[in-house]
Amino acid sequence: QHLRATQDLPCLGEHTKAVMEEILGCGHSFEVDNILSDERYQTLKLFTSVFGVGPKTAEKWYRRGLRSFSGVLAEPSIHLNRMQQSG
């Protein structure tokens, strides 16, 4: 029954369908759970929650080893723009 639910959905790849079937069958996806608990994902989500910080800036900060707002604020080479300061 779960397989039929995803079979008729257009424009979905096999991997997406498999993840959806796992969610429909088990109530969650182990792959999604792993991604959501990943440090990189959590950090990028935190950084992009600031108005004016997009994915590129968040990724740049992450690659520089920053993992928190306090780390960003303490980094002398980072100059926040007005949007980021108010966000």
pLDDT of residue 2: 61
Per residue of the chain (87 residues), give pLDDT as tens: 566 777 777 888 889 988 988 998 899 999 999 999 999 999 999 999 999 999 999 999 999 999 999 999 999 999 999 888 887
**Phi, psi (rounded to 5 degrees) for 74:** -85, -10
Fold of 38-86: DNA polymerase; domain 1 (1.10.150)
Task: Specify the domain boundaries for CATH 1.10.150.20 within the chain.
Answer: 38-86
Task: Compute CA distances 26 → 1, 8, 19, 31, 70, whole Å.
Answer: 13, 20, 10, 12, 39
pLDDT of residue 8: 76
